[in-house]
Amino acid sequence: MTTTAGPPPPATAPGIPLYLVSLGCPKNRVDSEVMLGHLLQQQAYRLVAEPEAAEVILVNTCSFLQQAIQESIDTILELGEQKRTGRCRRLLVTGCLVQSHGPELAEELPEVDAFLGLGELPDVLAAARGEGPRLRRAGEVFLYDSLTPRHASLRGGAAYVKVAEGCNRRCSFCRIPAIRGPQQSRPVASIVDEASRLAAQGVVELNLIAQDLSAYGREAGGPGTTLVALLRHLEEVPGIRWIRLLYLYPQGIDGALLERLGGGGKLLPYVDLPLQHAADSVLRRMRRGHGASRLRTLVERLRTKVPDLSLRTTFIVGFPGETEADFAELLSFVADLAPQRTAIFRFSPEPGTEAAGLPDQVSPRIAAGRYRRLSGLTQKLSLAANRRLLGRTLPVLVEGPSVESELLWEGRTAGQGPEGMDGVTYLPSGIARPGTLLQARITEAHPFDLTAEPADQD
């Protein structure tokens, strides 16, 4: 995912013009917001909407998959041209790709003025000024706190809150522990203080993120608390209306969390639960720590305990050793599961992971075919889920003007996460101030998006 950081100020605003591209996941976006907090404080820099207008360009990279690495490199090369043809004087590259490939990047990309790893994000102001070494990559990952400068960039009264960094799981296909290190959770007080500060700025929706949100607080030497305990405190923050949980690991969802999810209040009945597969043999090679029967039981408990559950999940096709029978089992599982939203990835043999060296690698052609078949099924399921909402009146968080048409605005239901990850709800233009929770009746349903009108028009 490529994001920029919100609307720029007027061109007459003080500060050196800065252009930012943030690649990858919401956790990366928070890192970008932290760097912006350092750069924009005291009006030292100002955001611009086009790279041609920038004197400093910042690229926050992703290296989760080879495709993401290539996108990061392509973006760096493209924006590097601005040093030759535009106003750019400093090109900065930060993030996961620097953390994993810093020395190689420094050698291969002479047009980049500074590289910052995941532990050096607060050094971005010095790097922008041309101070310090060209490559900063100490190894330890930086985890911000409530006092760290941060420029929240989501629109419509929403914000991400990163409650932990790193991961202690050892899935055979994943590079995250090698890139972002072991799990380190923030103290409850720091997170609650940040939520209060965001609420004072007009934020009404908190989207809690971590690589393994369900393991929050439980690592050795951590704060010794749980996600449920954190939620109790966050639900008491005045001004916060919605709390959304992203990236829950299946094994971490216990009875206490199920009860909390089903208890109503500010915690949304929304679960982002990456399941990855449904065949026991594949799950075993993935080192997921559970089998398909456990996943079925978990989803049944979720649907029993959580009324109006919105389930978002992720699957990988073409994993080494995945047979046609395994894939058929996955198709059957997904058809029974009927998730509202599904993200599908074709297996990528990432260097350094156990899965890259497993035997019986599936050919790209077969993996692509399985991707198309599973995508076709999940789109039908998504459309069916949206059609079940027709005629219902639901709260919709108004975000603002649509990128599709000046005649429309966009918002999100409780079942739609930020940045279009679950589609959007289209509304009449100018319907309400962004950040408003509006009661709206669903009038149209599409595979990803919804259309609604204010309920008081009935």
Q: State residue 12's pLDDT score.
A: 54
Sequence-distant (≥ 6) Cβ neighbours of residue 351 within 8 angstroms: none
Cα–Cα–Cα angle for 71, 72, 78, rounded to 5 degrees:
85
Each residue's pLDDT expressed in tens, for the chain with a length of 458 residues: 344 555 555 555 679 999 999 999 999 999 999 999 999 998 899 999 999 999 999 999 999 999 999 999 999 999 999 999 989 999 999 999 999 999 999 999 999 999 999 999 999 999 999 999 999 987 789 999 999 999 999 999 999 999 999 999 999 999 999 999 999 999 999 999 999 999 999 999 999 999 999 999 999 999 999 999 999 999 999 999 999 999 999 989 999 999 999 988 999 999 999 999 999 999 999 999 999 999 999 999 999 999 899 999 999 999 999 999 999 999 999 999 999 999 999 999 999 999 999 999 999 999 999 999 999 999 999 999 999 999 999 999 999 999 888 889 999 999 999 999 999 999 999 999 999 999 999 999 999 999 999 997 54
**CATH class of the 2-136 domain in this structure:** alpha beta
Q: State residue 458's pLDDT score.
A: 45
Same fold for the pair 158-387 and 393-457: no
DSSP strand pairing (135-136 vs 184-185): unpaired
**Architecture in CATH for domain 393-457:** Beta Barrel (2.40)
- What residues does each domain of the chain span? 2-136, 158-387, 393-457
Q: State residue 8's pLDDT score.
A: 54
Q: State residue 201's pLDDT score.
A: 95
Q: State residue 264's pLDDT score.
A: 84
- How many other C-beta atoms lie within 10 A of the C-beta of residue 307? 10
Q: State residue 1's pLDDT score.
A: 39
Q: What is the DSSP string of 122-167?
A: GGHHHHHTT-S-SEE--SSPP---TTS------SSSEEEEE-EES-
**Architecture in CATH for domain 158-387:** Alpha-Beta Horseshoe (3.80)
- Smallest CA-to-CA distance from 158 within 400, 348, 371, 331 is with 400
Find tokens 């789109």 and name the residue.
379
Taking the C-alpha atoms of residue 340 and residue 268, their distance in angstroms, rounded to an integer, is 15
In the chain, the amino acid numbered 167 is: C
Find tokens 């039981």 and name the residue.
297
Q: State residue 7's pLDDT score.
A: 53
Cα 122 to its chain centre, rounded Å, is: 21
Q: Could you read off the pLDDT of 104-116 as tens digits, one per residue?
A: 999 999 999 999 9
Cα–Cα–Cα angle for 343, 420, 283, rounded to 5 degrees:
15
